[in-house]
């Protein structure tokens, strides 16, 4: 089960991060969560740090484990409505987390917050989609 959660989380994070990088390019704004996390976590040495990636992946694993527990405990099949609902709820949790981190930071990165938060909610829908698709591959 642990390997499964790690693989599902990895797939979700890849899809989410790809979406965020594409949106960054299209909007010409920095929506790249791992890089922004580096800025928050490693302000003294922002270049080349993997701390943001480690935090990003760890949170993804936690969310994936929660989804797996929900599917198991309530005998649910991960379907469209679960993907959409869990993505939006996870995105809102992400917005709350980012808001807290930015408020607590002495030198927060400059982010267009309204655009970033909207993108963040959508990115979490892609995250859950990646987790669900990979989950179904394990079930096949």
Q: Is residue 46 part of a domain?
A: no
What's the average model confidence in pLDDT over 3-22? 97
Q: Is residue 57 part of a domain?
A: yes
Place of tokens 């996870």: 90
**Could you report the per-residue pLDDT of 80-116, keeping only the tens digit for each?**
899 999 999 999 999 999 999 999 888 888 899 999 9
CA distances (Å), origin 79, targets 67, 71, 117, 121: 12, 10, 25, 18
Q: Is residue 13 part of a domain?
A: yes
Domain range for 82 is 2-41+51-139
DSSP-assigned letter for residue 107? S
Distance of CA 102 to the CA centre of its chain: 17
Q: What is the mean pLDDT of the chain?
A: 91
Query: What per-residue confidence (pLDDT) applies to 105?
Result: 86
pTM surpassing 0.85?
yes
Of 9-13, 23-27, 71-75, the least confident: 71-75
């Amino acid at each position: 089960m642990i390997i499964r959660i790690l693989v599902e989380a990895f797939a979700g994070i890849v899809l989410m991060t790809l979406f965020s990088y594409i949106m960054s390019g299209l909007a010409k704004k920095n929506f790249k969560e791992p890089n922004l996390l580096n800025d928050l976590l490693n302000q003294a040495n922002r270049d080349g740090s993997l701390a943001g990636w480690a935090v990003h992946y760890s949170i993804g694993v936690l969310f994936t484990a929660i989804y797996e527990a929900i599917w198991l405990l309530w005998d649910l099949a991960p379907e469209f409505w679960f993907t959409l609902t869990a993505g939006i709820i996870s995105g809102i949790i992400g917005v709350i987390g980012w808001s807290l981190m930015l408020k607590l930071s002495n030198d927060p990165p400059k982010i267009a917050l309204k655009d970033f938060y909207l993108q963040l909610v959508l990115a979490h829908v892609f995250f859950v989609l990646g987790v669900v698709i990979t989950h179904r591959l394990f079930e096949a």
